[in-house]
């Protein structure tokens, strides 16, 4: 029997128009967008559908927007494939909240609200510090760790073989890019982001997120949910809270998280939400894994057909 894991998109995947065709075609999707607007008290759906891009890109809108579109995609696939079953979930950074919601650890409304708050807290941390990030292509983890130590920055994302992301003060990131190129990196590219995510510069967001999570009713997930921080499944509700707070400054161990699932015999992965970044990472981690994605009407139909076969 095929073991299936659901994967949920992270920040950076947002795009104006995301979710719009799903809402227009499926009444159930429209209902979820309306529920989201009611839960948050503002028209997030319109920002997802129409932008403008600078408004959608704001961390406080991008994070709940991606969770919302990912959740709608998940609900629609369940409608199209009533027999859909899965044994694990995982999500990239903010996507971990969607993964926990999909696994029943928190309600949809609570997940949406706490992610909106998380985005606000992280935006405040960005504005209080001068930070940025850069993608390091073609350098291994050990060499990149040495570059980080040399430049005084953090290793933020271990996405897949040959693709890492570093994070820290802007001037140090630029130096780190030079150090990485000198060590043989194919490319070292500063990223267009609001700040230094998954680095110590985000520390001011942690106590605020901890307080917000204390107001959220959490229960043990119905299936395994892999933590970005440990690359292992979450345990109790209290450890979920602790790991989600830690995740704000800790590196995202995505390649290890996927390796954990692959080692447990998972062979099929379904990516939900805008973009196909997680599918791209999986191609570099294990080409033999079956990848499907659901982001819009066309990809929903393809995934439903593949699962029904």
Domain end: 190, 214, 232, which one? 190
Choose, from 70, 167, 198, 257, the residue flagged as catalytic.
198
288: three-class secondary structure by DSSP: coil
Q: Which two tokens stand for residue 55?
A: 């408004």
Write out the H or E segment, with its range, that includes residue 89: strand 88-91
Domain with residue 217: its CATH number is 3.40.366.10
Shared-domain flag, residues 179 and 232: no
Question: In whole angstroms, how far apart are CA 93 and each of 7, 14, 84?
Answer: 11, 14, 25
Please say if the pLDDT value at position 309 is more than 90.
Answer: no
Residues 6+ apart with CB under 8 A from 142: none
Tens digits of residue pLDDT in 141-176? 999 999 999 999 999 999 999 999 999 999 999 999
Residue 1 pLDDT: 80
Shared-domain flag, residues 262 and 175: no
Separation between Cα atoms, residue 21 and residue 12, nearest integer Å: 20
Number of structural domains found in the chain: 2
Q: In 10 A of CB 62, how many CB atoms? A: 24
44: three-class secondary structure by DSSP: helix
Tens digits of residue pLDDT in 51-66? 999 999 999 999 999 9
Shared-domain flag, residues 119 and 204: yes
Q: Give domain status of residue 195, yes or no.
A: no
Residue range 244-251: mean pLDDT, rounded? 98
- 5-24 burial, b at 16+ Cβ within 10 Å, e below that, comes to bbbbbbbbbbbeebbbbbbe
Shared-domain flag, residues 61 and 102: yes
Shared-domain flag, residues 23 and 106: yes
Task: Confirm whether 257 is a catalytic residue.
Answer: no
Separation between Cα atoms, residue 241 and residue 127, nearest integer Å: 25
**Residue tagged 């990472």 (tokens):** 281
State the pLDDT confidence band at 192, using cuts at 50, 70 and 90.
confident
Q: Give domain status of residue 296, yes or no.
A: yes
Shared-domain flag, residues 185 and 221: no
Choose, from 70, 93, 199, 257, the residue flagged as catalytic.
93
Shared-domain flag, residues 115 and 210: yes
Task: Confirm whether 198 is a catalytic residue.
Answer: yes
Angle at 44 between CA 38 and CA 47, to 5 degrees: 155
Residue range 295-303: mean pLDDT, rounded? 98
Q: What is the pTM of this model?
A: 0.97
Shared-domain flag, residues 112 and 252: yes
- Best CA proximity match to 59, nearest among 155, 156, 126, 159: 126
Give the N- to C-terminal CA distance of the chain in Å, as an integer: 14
Q: In 10 A of CB 2, how many CB atoms? A: 11
State the pLDDT confidence band at 26, using cuts at 50, 70 and 90.
very high
Q: Considering the chain, what is the average pLDDT of its residues?
A: 97
Shared-domain flag, residues 59 and 179: no
Structural domain including 177 reads: 130-190
């Amino acid at each position: 029997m095929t073991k299936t894991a659901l994967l949920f998109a992270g920040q950076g995947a947002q795009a104006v128009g995301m979710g719009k065709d799903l809402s227009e075609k499926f009444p159930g999707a429209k209902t979820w967008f309306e529920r989201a607007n009611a839960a948050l008290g503002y028209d997030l759906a319109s920002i997802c559908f129409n932008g403008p891009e600078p408004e959608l890109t704001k961390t406080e809108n991008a994070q709940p927007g991606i969770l919302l579109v990912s959740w709608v995609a998940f609900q629609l696939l369940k409608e199209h494939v009533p027999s859909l079953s899965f044994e694990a979930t995982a999500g990239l950074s903010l996507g971990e909240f969607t993964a926990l919601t999909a696994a029943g650890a928190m309600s949809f409304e609570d997940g949406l609200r706490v992610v909106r708050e998380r985005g606000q807290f992280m935006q405040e941390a960005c504005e209080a510090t001068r930070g940025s990030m850069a993608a390091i292509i073609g350098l291994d983890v050990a060499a990149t760790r040495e570059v980080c130590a040399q430049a005084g920055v953090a290793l933020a994302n271990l996405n897949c073989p040959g693709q890492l992301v570093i994070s820290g003060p802007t001037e140090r990131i630029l130096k780190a890019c030079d150090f990485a190129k000198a060590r043989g990196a194919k490319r070292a590219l500063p990223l267009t982001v609001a700040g230094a995510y998954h680095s110590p510069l985000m520390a001011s967001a942690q106590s605020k997120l901890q307080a917000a999570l204390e107001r959220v009713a959490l229960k043990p997930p119905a299936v395994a949910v892999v933590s970005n921080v440990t690359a292992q499944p979450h345990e109790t509700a209290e450890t979920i809270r602790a790991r989600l707070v830690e995740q704000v400054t800790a590196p995202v161990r995505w390649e290890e998280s996927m390796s954990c699932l692959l080692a447990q015999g998972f062979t099929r992965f379904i990516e939900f939400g805008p973009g196909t970044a997680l599918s791209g990472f999986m191609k570099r981690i294990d080409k033999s894994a079956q990848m499907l994605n659901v982001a819009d009407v066309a990809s929903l139909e393809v995934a439903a057909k593949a699962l029904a076969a």
